[in-house]
Amino acid sequence: MKVEEIVKILDAEILTSGHDPGLEIMHACGSDLMSDVMAYVEENVLLLTGLVSPQVIRTAEMMDIRVICFVRGKNVTPSVIDMARERGITLLVTRHPMFIACGMLYSAGLRGKGVRD
């Protein structure tokens, strides 16, 4: 699924300019617990989260996660956006809460593979 499609499905806003519109996302992971993201996510995924701290960007950086979507219309600080841009990470924000956002993407065909059992 292309990032553009995810943006459309979630009615999301793109916070980082210069992202790769053709980037294909195969799987997704919804979590507010970065410890779990680092322990269980195996393949490059879209990360959906309600956390907006710089450590979310760090976690994505270490895990080779290229796209993050903040849920519940979170306010993201300019410094977090800059940090993501410097690392080539695309940031999205949707007003939908976590459960709904995950459900919408799942219904559209995204799956949770790439996550260790």
Partner 1 sequence: MNYVLPVGDFLMAGEASSNVKKILNQLGIPPRIVKRTAVAMYEAELNAVIHAYGGRAEVEITKDFIVVEVIDDGPGIPDIELAMTEGYSTAPDEIREMGFGAGMGLPNIKRNADEFSIESEVGKGTRVRIVVYFNR
Chain residues in the site for partner 1 (CB under 8 A):
32-36, 38-39, 49, 51, 53-56, 58-59, 61-64
Q: For residues 83 and 10, is the Cβ–Cβ distance under 8 A?
A: no
Return the number of the residue (54 or 97) whose C-beta is nearest partner 1: 54
Return the number of the residue (56 or 102) whose C-beta is nearest partner 1: 56
Instruction: List the beta bridge partners of residue 47.
Output: 29, 68
- Ramachandran quadrant class, 72 (left: phi over 0; alpha: psi -120 to 50; beta: rest): left
Return the number of the residue (5 or 61) whose C-beta is nearest partner 1: 61
Report in angstroms how near the CB of residue 59 gets to partner 1 at its nearest: 8
Report in angstroms how near the CB of residue 71 gets to partner 1 at its nearest: 14
Report in angstroms how near the CB of residue 27 gets to partner 1 at its nearest: 16
Return the number of the residue (5 or 81) whose C-beta is nearest partner 1: 81
What is the DSSP secondary structure assignment for residue 3, as one 8-state letter? H
Report in angstroms how near the CB of residue 67 gets to partner 1 at its nearest: 16
Whole-angstrom distance, CA of residue 75 vs CA of residue 114? 29
Instruction: List the beta bridge partners of residue 45.
Output: 27
> For residue 35, what is the enclosing H or E element?
helix 34-40
